[in-house]
Structure 1
Amino acid sequence: MTIPGRVRAGQILLYVGRPLALLFAWDIAVTVAYLCSHAKVNFPALPMSLMATVVAIYLSFRNTAAYARWWEARTLWGSLVNASRTFAREVVMLAASESISLQRELVLRHVAYVHSLRLHLRRESPWEELSLRLPQEEIVNLRRVANVPNAILRRTAEIVARQCNADSVRLVAIERTMADISNAQGGMERIKNTPFPKQYSTYPIFFTHVFCILLPLGLVESLGWYTVFGSTAAGFLFLALLKIGSDMQEPFANTENDVPITTLARAIEIDLLDGLDERHSIKPVPIENNVVW
């Protein structure tokens, strides 16, 4: 996730990048061809105004849907943060009558679960992270399953059930928290596995590019040599809106515009290890070039 900060003109232009450069070259070509040739092609301005309005409304709806998708992903991770803290607190009460080793095992298992979920959503290998937190024999079994974080959570539930077999009240409380964790994971997987509708992902690209191609044709008669600047400036706004929506529609794509799940997973780990007095040298994820991962 890119954090707010001072924005420079160069950064804004580079954000759109290649499409803006191509538009600028196209505007120059159309302007020179129109003003330096005897053949004049008059393109009515009214259809361009109507098309600009339609494209702007379409991009606004699309970006609203993309932001809602991104924000839901962030909300689900917020729910996971809260449920993880609750789970760690309930584990302390569970282990109070059992052993500190049980408390430590369950907390470390949950840290492993959170990191495996992060990597699961980003389609990355979890084995390096899990080798530091889970027994080797369990990792061997996990390599056979399709959904690693769900398998870790199921095994944690089995351990809790075995320890609480004589205390149904504590079992119900912890099961409720684990259900919240499972529901949050299901919501994240739904977002990850459900592609953005084609009507919102593909068509806006086509309409915006067609509009930018036609834009200098509709402006050159009235603006003359200023068409290069007027058309590029207007096209930049539409290209920027298109890029914003494209960046936000996949919140777990492992790009700088993602929900910062690496930072959130590390924050959960720090909170849980603080409860065990085992945080040691673990630090929050640093900000890199104004980006929180």
Structure 2
Amino acid sequence: MHIGRQYSVNDFLAWTRKETQWLIGWALFATLFLHVSTLNFLTVPAPILTIVGAALAISLAFKSQQCFARCTNALTLSEQLNGSSFILAERLISATCELGDVPSGARLEDMFYRHFAWLTSLRFYLRDSRSWENRFDAGNIRFLAKIPSPESTSALDDELKNYLSDDEVQKIMACSGDKESLILDWQYEALRKLRKQNLISEYMFIGLIARLDDLSRLQGGLKLIKNYPYPRNYYSIAVILVKMFVAIIPFGLFPFAYELGKSAGIADWTAWLNVPFSVAVGWVFVSLEKVGENSSNPFEGNANDVPISSIARRIEIAMRGMMGESNDLQPIVAKSDILF
């Protein structure tokens, strides 16, 4: 997530470099073709350019709003991990602080560390790639080569070893299903052990189970956003309209560029203004489409993602402090205004 004031113009130009090169190349070709061939009947009437542009603007506005809603929903669910985690921690402390003979796996430290493992497994899952995501887009690859996400520079099993035994790590890595759900199952089982031995009351048991239910629901909501893309039909029509509009822009603006110098006898020169005019108009619509699309997958590991890594780290630091444990963990800091 970009936490600075704004992206600079140079950032945007570098991010859209490939698209800008195509726009310049196409505008030069179209202008040269129309100017040399004098086939003026191939120009596009202004009303057609207006109609297609209006349809495209409406399509991009709808897409941007929906993509922004996905991103906002993902951020809301991610931040709710804070509250649910702290409530679980407080209730675990209240339930186990005076217990003596606690069964293995149900100690306060065990459940706290298992929660850290759950957060780690969840963030690695959310950072995993999907076929519809944009992390391998040329502009994103160049940008993220300098500031990779924490999950792209480490392995899940290595991270889990900080919280779980080698045997537990092997069980998680061998699990073909949801690794996060397996860790939550262990948390449920630990609470059942405490209740079975009458170490906690029925009321406390129900309260703790409710907190785990909250975490399970949050996990499901985050995975829903991760596993299902912005509807491909809306995405496809936006891309088709952008390509169509960009293709006809030079043929629609050429007559206006030519007319600018006709009265002064320099129409052959002003006709080449069609290139910067076409590139500028095309870049606006291409960039709007790209901004919307790169906001639709808020966990793919790009610069505009939800900072799930930072959120998980803050939760771990706070819960370790609640447990009275001293540690050297530091919050994840932004690099070049990008926070993961």
Instruction: Give the TM-score normalised by the residue count of structure 1.
Output: 0.94
**Counterpart Cα distance in 2 of 1:244 and 1:171:** 47
Query: What's the secondary structure of 1:133's corresponding residue?
Result: coil
1:32 alignment partner in structure 2: 32
Instruction: Quote how far apart the aligned CAs of 1:183 are.
Output: 0.2
Instruction: Quote how far apart the aligned CAs of 1:84 are.
Output: 0.4
Q: 1:120·1:126 contact (CA, 8 Å) conserved in 2?
A: no
What is the number of equivalent residue pairs in this alignment? Answer: 293
Instruction: Quote how far apart the aligned CAs of 1:211 are.
Output: 0.7
**Counterpart Cα distance in 2 of 1:208 and 1:42:** 18
Q: Deviations over 1:95-133 (max 9, x none)?
A: 122159922221111111111110122227521111111
1:138 alignment partner in structure 2: 168
**Counterpart Cα distance in 2 of 1:35 and 1:283:** 62
Q: Considering only aligned residues, what root-mean-square deviation do their CA atoms show, in Å?
A: 1.7
Instruction: Quote how far apart the aligned CAs of 1:245 are.
Output: 1.3
**Counterpart Cα distance in 1 of 2:6 and 2:181:** 41
- Please state if 1:106 is matched with 2:153: no
**Counterpart Cα distance in 2 of 1:94 and 1:196:** 43
Q: Deviations over 1:170-222 (max 9, x none)?
A: 00111111111000000111111112211122221121011101111001011
- Please state if 1:92 is matched with 2:122: no
- Please state if 1:118 is matched with 2:111: no
1:150 alignment partner in structure 2: 181
Q: Which amino acid aligns with 1:159?
A: A
5+ residue gaps in structure 1?
A: none
2:237 alignment partner in structure 1: 203
Query: What's the secondary structure of 1:266's corresponding residue?
Result: helix
**Counterpart Cα distance in 2 of 1:201 and 1:238:** 14
Instruction: Say which of 160, 173, 192 aligns to 2:191.
Output: 160
1:176 alignment partner in structure 2: 210
2:66 alignment partner in structure 1: 65
Q: Which amino acid aligns with 1:66?
A: C
Query: What's the secondary structure of 2:43's corresponding residue?
Result: coil
**Counterpart Cα distance in 2 of 1:279 and 1:251:** 33
5+ residue gaps in structure 2?
A: 129-150, 258-270
2:331 alignment partner in structure 1: 284
Instruction: Give the TM-score normalised by the residue count of structure 2.
Output: 0.82
Q: 1:270·1:279 contact (CA, 8 Å) conserved in 2?
A: no
**Counterpart Cα distance in 2 of 1:241 and 1:33:** 28
Query: What's the secondary structure of 1:10's corresponding residue?
Result: helix
Instruction: Say which of 304, 310, 315 aligns to 1:257.
Output: 304
Q: 1:83·1:181 contact (CA, 8 Å) conserved in 2?
A: yes
Q: Which amino acid aligns with 2:165?
A: P
Q: Which amino acid aligns with 1:42?
A: T
**Counterpart Cα distance in 2 of 1:28 and 1:98:** 78
